[in-house]
Amino acid sequence: MDSRIIEKIKELVVDGVRHVKEMKRHLTIAVQKDICPNEDIPLTNRRYFPRDKDIKNHMDIALNNLRYPFIIFQQTKFEKVDFNHYLCLSI
């Protein structure tokens, strides 16, 4: 998936988009008007038109980052301090 699409998903989640169908509609418009306006990209190109599951996964990551801003889910390391406690260290 193109990094611009991932950033657009994050932006739209912040704006309140919560349904995959709505996100897909916004992404289609963004690809055709903003990201690649002069290119004729086929709808089968998953780089610019990802599957529903891919969109849902990136929406979930963005939503978790909104809910828990103190934890960076993709770059977090947990170290065991003692038997019952873990220390969250951002990398």
For the segment 65-76, the average pLDDT, to the nearest whole number, is 65
The whole-number average pLDDT for the span 69-91 is 53
Residue identified by tokens 């611009």 is 4
Closest CA to 9 of 32, 26, 34: 26
Average pLDDT estimate for 8-24: 95
pLDDT score of 13 more than 80: yes
Enumerate residues 6+ apart whose C-beta is below 8 A from 81. Answer: 87
Q: Angle, to 10 degrees, between the axis of helix 52-67 and the axis of helix 3-14?
A: 50
Q: Tell me the whole-structure pTM to 2 decimals.
A: 0.73
CB atoms within 10 A of CB 81: 9
Higher-confidence residue: 15 or 86? 15
pLDDT at 86 over 80: no
